[in-house]
A and B are shown apart, each in its own frame.
Chain A
Amino acid sequence: MDYEFIIDGALAEVYLDKKEEKFIISLGKKSFEADICWISENVISLLTGGRSYCFYLASDKKQTHININGHYFYIKEPSDETSDFAGGEQASEKDALFIKAPMPGKVIKIDVKEKQAVRKNQTLAVVEAMKMENEIKSSIEGQVKKINAAPGDLVDPDMVLIELEKQ
């Protein structure tokens, strides 16, 4: 079977074939044989070339989290990624203009007004989570188009707090 994943932002192809009790794994030009088995719902054991590896893994809606030897990997299915992929440059510009909360939390302060000009690195708002305040800064020079949040609001990372426009 052929599988495609996105790891570290790049597309990777894995070919997995069962041969008797073992598996043949092909990645690009590389190919190796391994004995793989489930230990429990979140644990996989893999033996290859006389070496033993233990994987811990769990999936949420976005990705599969994998830990091997203390290293963390985040692997996505390509279909989930298409919109972000196509975005590229555009996506980062969108991020700069539509200011979102970096994490779920509470708005403490909005430092700007609508129509106000903002410098790069100017603090736009302060959001608090887990008792720490975090300043949200502008990554561009521009003007405040719209403010969608007020102090005291509980916000999610998907919410646009402030909309900016380039001058």
Chain B
Amino acid sequence: MFKKILIANRGEIAVRVIKACQEMDITAVAVYSDADRSSLHVQTADEAVYVGAAPAGESYLNIDRIIQAGKDTGSEAIHPGYGFLAENAEFVQRCEQDNIVFIGPNSRAMKLVGDKIRSRQAMERAGIAIIPGMKSALKDISKYKSAAEKIGYPVMIKASAGGGGKGMRIVYKEADLKPALEAGKREAKAAFSNDSVYLEKYIEEPRHIEFQVLADNFGNTVHIFERECSIQRRHQKIVEESPSPALEPELREKMGAIAQKVINVTGYNNAGTVEFLLDKDKKFYFLEVNARLQVEHPVTELISGIDLVLQQIDIAAGQKLAFKQKELQQKGHAIECRIYAEDPQNNFLPSSGKVLFLKEPSGPGVRFDCGVYSGCDVPVYYDPILAKLIVWAENRDKACRRMLKALADCVVLGIKTNIEFLKDLIGHPMFKEGKTTTNFIQKNFPDWSPPEKPENLKELALTAAAFNSQKSSLKGGRYGTEPKEVYSPWNKLGKWTIGGGK
């Protein structure tokens, strides 16, 4: 087993992986940029290495600096988290050259699945259903016009190198194609340093269903069931759950088997996700392989009891999978909500700034994977994800109730978040019925504003504000305004030393 692992990421996922390493008595090395000196992942790690300026291109995306940090600290392996270099085949290759184990797939498989056009071709050859679309990216922007006509509008622009909704655009008519291509290329370039984009048929009202897979280095593969991730905004997932309300056992088995086949066809190892679109008639199409640990991996962990990060580390260290497909079962129901620093009332614009106060929700079946703390700054340079709230309960109805309560218990003051929006979303009758398609938010929340607040709570809020304002006039003073030592029993002790009097 490894003695030291470098985590080439930041935020909640870096914290998640660092904790897994520490459980295994593996020394966890964090990297940080100028914007992250005081971030949680740096505090949590055993060692921390400065890698550059705040813009990701000069730090978290800088292959040379990350590799150098790995070498300098004597790290035997690098865990890339998600985003940044997680799906960068060149980075994987550099790790392989420098004898640092990349905790993820081998570079050949990464290249194949990372190139959406080549992977589509490979799937076609293997007889796996794919969505009609372009066979390759084109240099000349004008040629996309005829390609779009051939596929038939609406078409979807997708980044050849990407995921996470970056670079994606839906185009309904020819007039919108050129500006959408330009914007898509710019976003793809900024996110993946590669502006190549392609077109495919846009399937309306589909569900987004993905299968978690694990493959060791000896050709053993399992799938750990599905996650339904249909609740998206701007192609960015917001809510994920397992099991999917749309899958019956036979369909689940069929899709799971195809997911394993995809992994075999591509020579993939370590943890990965096979994404499908499921249409209204329950026909499913291969979408892509996400060659990384997914943001939403905790959903799978809670329904299966398997720790995916520990599995990733075991597999990368050359261990065989310790279980077989038939030993796995999906137990109960798990839901994840992503807590973003954004203002749902103001067109979901990102909100950065200081988290003045944070209260983490807790309780039976509640998990909070968090990258921030009371008093921390949320920089503008990176993804706006602050934390993930994941709940588990015996069934979907109980899981929804648990999620609603946990969202109400999660308090973030100082910056705007989507927590209130998430509460409305999980509480929506269509969500309760499991009628989740990728246009759920567009359809049910075209123009969201927070629900009317109960009048008595408004009065109580004013009372609290008045109580807060009167501070010093109150007997005993406002907590924190007078020296706290006044109340401390230590003050009455006089001079003392630890271990004194021996």
In the assembled complex, A60 has its CB within 8 A of some CB on chain B: yes
Which one of A1, A57, A108 contacts B464 once the chains associate, using CB atoms below 8 Å? A57
How many angstroms between the C-alpha atoms of A73 and B468 in the bound complex? 14
**A58 touching B414, Cβ below 8 Å:** yes
How many angstroms between the C-alpha atoms of A82 and B383 in the bound complex? 36
In the assembled complex, A120 has its CB within 8 A of some CB on chain B: no
In the assembled complex, A91 has its CB within 8 A of some CB on chain B: no
How many angstroms between the C-alpha atoms of A44 and B471 in the bound complex? 12
In the assembled complex, A50 has its CB within 8 A of some CB on chain B: no
**A128 touching B413, Cβ below 8 Å:** no
Interface string of B321-364 (1 = CB under 8 A from A): 00000000000000000000100001101111010110100000
**A75 touching B380, Cβ below 8 Å:** no
How many angstroms between the C-alpha atoms of A152 and B73 in the bound complex? 35
With A57-B468, A73-B461 in contact, do A130 and B346 touch (Cβ < 8 Å)? no
Interface string of B371-385 (1 = CB under 8 A from A): 000100000111110
**A71 touching B454, Cβ below 8 Å:** yes
Interface size on A, residues (CB 8 A): 54
In the assembled complex, B138 has its CB within 8 A of some CB on chain A: no
How many angstroms between the C-alpha atoms of A30 and B459 in the bound complex? 10
Q: List 24 A-B contacts (CB under 8 A).
A: A5-B466, A7-B461, A14-B463, A14-B465, A16-B463, A18-B475, A25-B459, A27-B462, A57-B357, A57-B413, A58-B357, A59-B356, A64-B468, A65-B357, A66-B461, A70-B409, A70-B420, A72-B450, A73-B453, A73-B461, A102-B347, A103-B380, A131-B166, A134-B347
Q: Which 5 A-B pairs have the closest CB atoms?
A: A70-B408, A58-B356, A38-B479, A73-B461, A130-B350
**A residues in contact (CB < 8 Å) with B:** 1, 3, 5, 7-8, 12, 14, 16, 18, 23, 25, 27, 30, 34, 36, 38-42, 44, 46, 53, 55-60, 64-73, 75, 102-105, 108-109, 126, 128-134
Given contacts A65-B413, A130-B380, 19 further A-B contacts (CB under 8 A): A1-B470, A3-B466, A5-B462, A5-B466, A16-B467, A42-B374, A44-B464, A46-B460, A56-B411, A58-B357, A64-B465, A65-B357, A67-B413, A72-B420, A73-B453, A109-B186, A129-B352, A130-B384, A133-B187
